[in-house]
Amino acid sequence: MTNRAIIGISNWAKTRESLLALADQLEAGIDPEAGDYHLNFASATQLLAELPPRRLDTLREIKHAGPMSIYAVAKALSRNYSNVHTDVQKLIEHGLVEKDEAARVRVPWDDVLVRVDASLLAAA
Protein backbone atom coordinates (compact mmCIF):
# COMPACT_ATOMS: atom_id res chain seq x y z
CA MET A 1 0.00 0.00 0.00
CA THR A 2 1.30 3.42 -0.94
CA ASN A 3 1.19 6.16 1.65
CA ARG A 4 0.72 9.57 0.14
CA ALA A 5 0.59 13.14 1.28
CA ILE A 6 -2.28 14.86 -0.48
CA ILE A 7 -2.28 18.66 -0.38
CA GLY A 8 -5.35 20.59 -1.36
CA ILE A 9 -8.09 23.04 -0.52
CA SER A 10 -11.06 22.15 1.64
CA ASN A 11 -13.76 24.26 3.15
CA TRP A 12 -14.86 23.93 6.77
CA ALA A 13 -18.07 22.06 5.89
CA LYS A 14 -16.17 19.27 4.12
CA THR A 15 -13.57 19.08 6.89
CA ARG A 16 -16.28 18.96 9.57
CA GLU A 17 -18.10 16.18 7.69
CA SER A 18 -14.91 14.10 7.51
CA LEU A 19 -14.16 14.61 11.19
CA LEU A 20 -17.69 13.63 12.22
CA ALA A 21 -17.46 10.44 10.13
CA LEU A 22 -14.14 9.62 11.80
CA ALA A 23 -15.64 10.25 15.25
CA ASP A 24 -18.53 7.90 14.40
CA GLN A 25 -16.05 5.18 13.42
CA LEU A 26 -14.08 5.60 16.63
CA GLU A 27 -17.22 5.56 18.79
CA ALA A 28 -18.29 2.33 17.06
CA GLY A 29 -14.94 0.78 18.01
CA ILE A 30 -13.74 0.66 14.42
CA ASP A 31 -10.07 1.46 13.97
CA PRO A 32 -9.64 3.73 11.00
CA GLU A 33 -7.46 2.29 8.28
CA ALA A 34 -4.02 3.73 7.88
CA GLY A 35 -4.37 5.98 4.93
CA ASP A 36 -3.15 9.00 3.17
CA TYR A 37 -2.04 12.13 4.96
CA HIS A 38 -4.24 15.06 3.99
CA LEU A 39 -3.02 18.63 4.32
CA ASN A 40 -5.83 21.01 3.47
CA PHE A 41 -5.91 24.77 3.34
CA ALA A 42 -8.96 27.00 3.52
CA SER A 43 -8.13 28.82 0.28
CA ALA A 44 -5.83 28.85 -2.69
CA THR A 45 -4.25 32.00 -1.29
CA GLN A 46 -3.37 30.21 1.94
CA LEU A 47 -2.04 27.14 0.11
CA LEU A 48 0.21 29.29 -2.09
CA ALA A 49 1.37 31.37 0.87
CA GLU A 50 2.38 28.28 2.86
CA LEU A 51 3.72 26.29 -0.09
CA PRO A 52 5.09 28.72 -2.68
CA PRO A 53 6.91 27.29 -5.73
CA ARG A 54 10.41 27.49 -4.18
CA ARG A 55 9.22 25.59 -1.10
CA LEU A 56 7.70 22.92 -3.33
CA ASP A 57 11.01 22.78 -5.24
CA THR A 58 12.73 22.12 -1.91
CA LEU A 59 10.25 19.34 -1.13
CA ARG A 60 10.75 17.84 -4.59
CA GLU A 61 14.55 17.87 -4.22
CA ILE A 62 14.44 16.16 -0.82
CA LYS A 63 12.03 13.53 -2.18
CA HIS A 64 14.18 12.94 -5.27
CA ALA A 65 17.57 12.83 -3.52
CA GLY A 66 16.58 11.00 -0.35
CA PRO A 67 17.84 11.77 3.17
CA MET A 68 20.30 14.64 3.14
CA SER A 69 21.46 17.59 5.20
CA ILE A 70 19.82 20.97 4.75
CA TYR A 71 23.19 22.23 3.53
CA ALA A 72 23.18 19.57 0.80
CA VAL A 73 19.63 20.55 -0.19
CA ALA A 74 20.67 24.20 -0.46
CA LYS A 75 23.70 23.27 -2.52
CA ALA A 76 21.66 21.02 -4.86
CA LEU A 77 19.16 23.84 -5.42
CA SER A 78 21.85 26.55 -5.69
CA ARG A 79 20.00 28.52 -3.02
CA ASN A 80 20.96 30.34 0.15
CA TYR A 81 21.19 28.02 3.17
CA SER A 82 19.09 30.32 5.37
CA ASN A 83 16.21 30.40 2.89
CA VAL A 84 16.28 26.62 2.42
CA HIS A 85 16.40 26.13 6.19
CA THR A 86 13.27 28.28 6.54
CA ASP A 87 11.54 26.27 3.82
CA VAL A 88 12.49 22.96 5.44
CA GLN A 89 11.21 24.13 8.83
CA LYS A 90 7.83 25.02 7.26
CA LEU A 91 7.72 21.65 5.48
CA ILE A 92 8.40 19.93 8.81
CA GLU A 93 5.63 21.96 10.48
CA HIS A 94 3.22 20.79 7.78
CA GLY A 95 4.22 17.14 8.18
CA LEU A 96 5.67 16.86 4.69
CA VAL A 97 9.31 16.42 5.76
CA GLU A 98 10.94 14.92 8.83
CA LYS A 99 14.44 14.76 10.30
CA ASP A 100 16.15 11.48 11.05
CA GLU A 101 18.47 10.75 13.96
CA ALA A 102 21.44 12.09 11.97
CA ALA A 103 19.57 15.41 11.40
CA ARG A 104 19.11 14.62 7.72
CA VAL A 105 15.80 15.61 6.20
CA ARG A 106 13.61 13.23 4.25
CA VAL A 107 10.12 12.95 2.81
CA PRO A 108 8.30 10.14 4.65
CA TRP A 109 5.70 9.71 1.89
CA ASP A 110 5.85 7.46 -1.16
CA ASP A 111 4.21 10.23 -3.15
CA VAL A 112 3.17 13.84 -2.63
CA LEU A 113 0.22 15.19 -4.59
CA VAL A 114 -0.92 18.78 -4.82
CA ARG A 115 -4.52 18.91 -5.95
CA VAL A 116 -5.47 21.98 -7.90
CA ASP A 117 -9.08 21.99 -8.92
CA ALA A 118 -11.92 24.37 -9.64
CA SER A 119 -11.75 25.67 -6.06
CA LEU A 120 -8.36 27.20 -6.86
CA LEU A 121 -9.74 28.88 -9.95
CA ALA A 122 -12.79 30.16 -8.08
CA ALA A 123 -10.59 31.71 -5.41
CA ALA A 124 -8.27 33.41 -7.89
Domain residue spans of the chain = 4-123
Q: What's the pTM?
A: 0.79
- Percent with pLDDT over 90 in the chain: 55
Burial label for 38, CB within 10 Å (0-12, 13-18, 19+), is middle
Cα end-to-end span (Å), the chain = 35
Residue 11's φ and ψ, nearest 5 degrees, are -85, 170
Side-by-side strand order, sheet with 37-41: 37-41, 4-9, 111-114
pLDDT digits (tens, 9 = 90+) for 68-102: 999 999 999 999 999 999 999 999 999 999 999 99
For residue 61, count other CB atoms closer than 10 A to its CB.
18
Q: Within a 13 Å sphere around the CA of 34, how many CA atoms are in the beta-carbon half?
A: 5
CATH of segment(s) 4-123:
1.10.10.10
Residue 31 confidence (pLDDT) above 80: no
